[in-house]
Each structure stands twice: as C-alpha cells, then as structure tokens.
Amino acid sequence: MPVVSLERLRDMLEVSDGFVTFSVEGETDKDGVPFLHLHVGGSLQLRCQRCLAPVNYPLELSNRLRLVRPGEVWPDEALQDDSFDAIDAVGAVDVLMLIEEEILLGLPPYPHHEYCLLPQKGLGGVGDQSPFSVLADLNVPRH
C-alpha cells in the first residue's frame, strides 16, 4: 500500500514516498473468540526532533487484536492478558484504517538520529543562565 494513501500518517512524515506491506489473518480460538493477526512492515521517513532532518524509521509491527462485540462482558483474566489488544467488531472492519491506526500507535513519540546530541546549555551565547532568570527582575506585586 502506498504511504501517500494514508492521510493521517502522511501528515507526520518528512517524506511520504514508499510503501508499507501488510497482512491480516483471522482466527477463532478454542473458546470461539475471534482474533485478527496484523503484520505491517516498511520504512518511513520521519523528522528528527533534534536536527529536523529526515530520519529513516524501519517499521515492523505485529499485533494480535481481539474482536469485541458491543456489550460483551469480559472476564477479569481477559482484562489482565497483555498478549492482545481489543477493537470493536461492529459490522465490517475497515482494514486500511486499522493498519493506519496501528502504524500511528507504533511510531516513536520523539524520533531522532542516534548521532544527534541533545541541546546543551551555553549554546548561542546564552551561557549557563536560565532564560527565565530575567523574570526575577520584574517588579510584579504578589497577592
């Protein structure tokens, strides 16, 4: 699937070229509970949050999703099982939306190159003084 066709994801990318591959398989466990197995792979170009240049992010997701019917009551042991996530099973499942949602959930919150350094104090002639120290000089009445 072309990355450019994933609207919400496209807005988060530095470059929206390329493709993602996916597979979706359904199963029913021994108790008759329906599951989907979702696998997504590819390479995305995110923006480094330190230097703002493109950073390659190898995408490799694998998730097991339990299909939950509206009003279905879950036993306590099912709520504690971390081997799957749950999604609503109301009518047909929009597979492309599901794939995009899984990709968005799997993205790093702070993409960056391994070689980019964190901003250091003293850069730009500011020295070790806090930029908020000028607030101490303000004559603001206290209540």
Residue 119 CA from chain centroid, whole number: 24
Give per-residue pLDDT as tens, 41-83.
999 999 998 888 899 999 999 999 888 887 877 666 666 777 7
Q: What CA–CA distance (Å, rounded) separates 39 from 94?
A: 15
Q: 11-33 as b/e, with b when 16 or more CB fall inside 10 Å?
A: eebbebeeebebeeeeeeeeeee
Q: What CA–CA distance (Å, rounded) separates 41 from 20?
A: 6
Give the residue-averaged pLDDT of 27-33.
87
Predicted local distance difference test score (pLDDT) of residue 115 = 86
Q: Out of 53-57, 110-114, 138-142, which region has the weakest mean confidence (pLDDT)? A: 138-142
SS3 75: coil
Model confidence at 10: pLDDT above 80: yes
How much is the pTM?
0.71
